[in-house]
Structure 1
């Protein structure tokens, strides 16, 4: 990261971007972009999204290439990272991003939290992954039978900070509860779309999207088949 962000650029960025990704007043009219790393093979956002889709297809077909998983690659990326894609995924142990998208060391910038919710901290991390490291696509990955979404649908009374997850999911799924079909599946997909909308309220991410330097997509992972279906 030291190679990609100079001290001067960090100081310039610091006035507008706090750790949570909040931009101060006045910065939204002219965002300051520090020097970014060149993403994998200088991919376009569309090509980066396609690489994720193709990797998942290999996984589903049991034709994984297991790229960039050697010790040589580990040493290579120890010097600096240039992930081509970012993932906002659920913390569920059954949804490991590098495996289901058939990627390796340094390919994905991954944020995981129960319910794949776009908290300020997760949003700030994804801003960093795109703005500084050069990630060309952010995919919000929800999944079948998500426990956090299910608890929200059922109106479960949950203890401690678990309640913050429910509070973050609830507004985005309310409209889906009256739709025909599987209520939980509808809610899981609605939650993906809701978190995408939250990410797009970030001035940094929305500017990158507007400049066609970033795509924010949504994927629904089927626990039974391993397939990721694009929902946005």
Structure 2
């Protein structure tokens, strides 16, 4: 079946949700994965969403959202921790490529969040650069604990919220695009066993999609 480009952020999010439903149901269409589409994309790209997600090997964006070549501009780090390189990549997707949606994708049982929670409990952090990742997640764990949220998955949701807020607060390009309605940010949480996504946080016009508590 043909896929038209989304006209706004809400439509872009709807395309992702529909693709995820197909992935969960086992009715994937594998759109935009053929040789003709590959050739057509060679001159340039026009993705409809920036996907900033955790590097976990089970979060392959094009698979869990049933999308193909040229659909998603993907940026991934462990624990979806964001620094200047991530912000620059997202600003390129939004400001240069004109994507109408930025998605922050976290997941249940996140190792980075678990490590930060363990560091809170016992005071021990990993060594090397993994420690830097954990330290960037740590404020989300503190915020969740202060609000009485003690399970790892509740902390994951808090980390997703903190990340979406961080992107909008730090990126003037993204904030401006949101203010004009050209772009929106959606924080999604993925369940590893079921394969489903749930909207946790958002900035901008996401249409009928409601943010959960």
TM category (shorter chain) comes to: 0.7 to 0.9
* 1:31 alignment counterpart: none
Over 6 Å off, 4+ runs: none
Instruction: With the length of structure 2 as denominator, give the TM-score of the two structures.
Output: 0.87
**5+ long unaligned stretches in structure 1:** 1-39
Structure 2: distance between partners of 1:131 and 1:173: 31
SS at match of 2:80: coil
Q: Is 1:165 paired with 2:133?
A: yes
Q: CA deviation at 1:103?
A: 0.3
Structure 2: distance between partners of 1:157 and 1:44: 42
Give the root-mean-square deviation of aligned CA atoms: 1.4
Q: Call closer, same or farther: CA 1:140–1:224 in 2, change over 3 Å.
A: same
Q: Call closer, same or farther: CA 1:87–1:69 in 2, change over 3 Å.
A: same
Structure 1: distance between partners of 2:56 and 2:23: 18
Q: Is 1:127 paired with 2:127?
A: no
* 1:187 alignment counterpart: 155
Structure 2: distance between partners of 1:86 and 1:223: 21
Q: Among 47, 51, 65, which residue is 2:11 paired with?
A: 47
Q: Is 1:196 paired with 2:182?
A: no
Q: CA deviation at 1:42?
A: 5.2
Structure with the larger helix share: 2
Q: CA deviation at 1:203?
A: 0.7
Structure 1: distance between partners of 2:48 and 2:165: 22
Is the Cα–Cα contact under 8 Å of residues 144 and 150 in structure 2 kept in the other structure?
Answer: no
Is the Cα–Cα contact under 8 Å of residues 48 and 72 in structure 2 kept in the other structure?
Answer: yes
Structure 2: distance between partners of 1:196 and 1:172: 12
When the two structures are aligned, how many residues end up with a matched partner?
A: 193
Structure 2: distance between partners of 1:151 and 1:158: 8
Q: Call closer, same or farther: CA 1:143–1:124 in 2, change over 3 Å.
A: same
Q: Is 1:231 paired with 2:207?
A: no
Q: CA deviation at 1:72?
A: 1.4
Q: Is 1:99 paired with 2:63?
A: yes
Q: CA deviation at 1:182?
A: 5.8
Q: CA deviation at 1:229?
A: 0.6
**5+ long unaligned stretches in structure 2:** 202-213
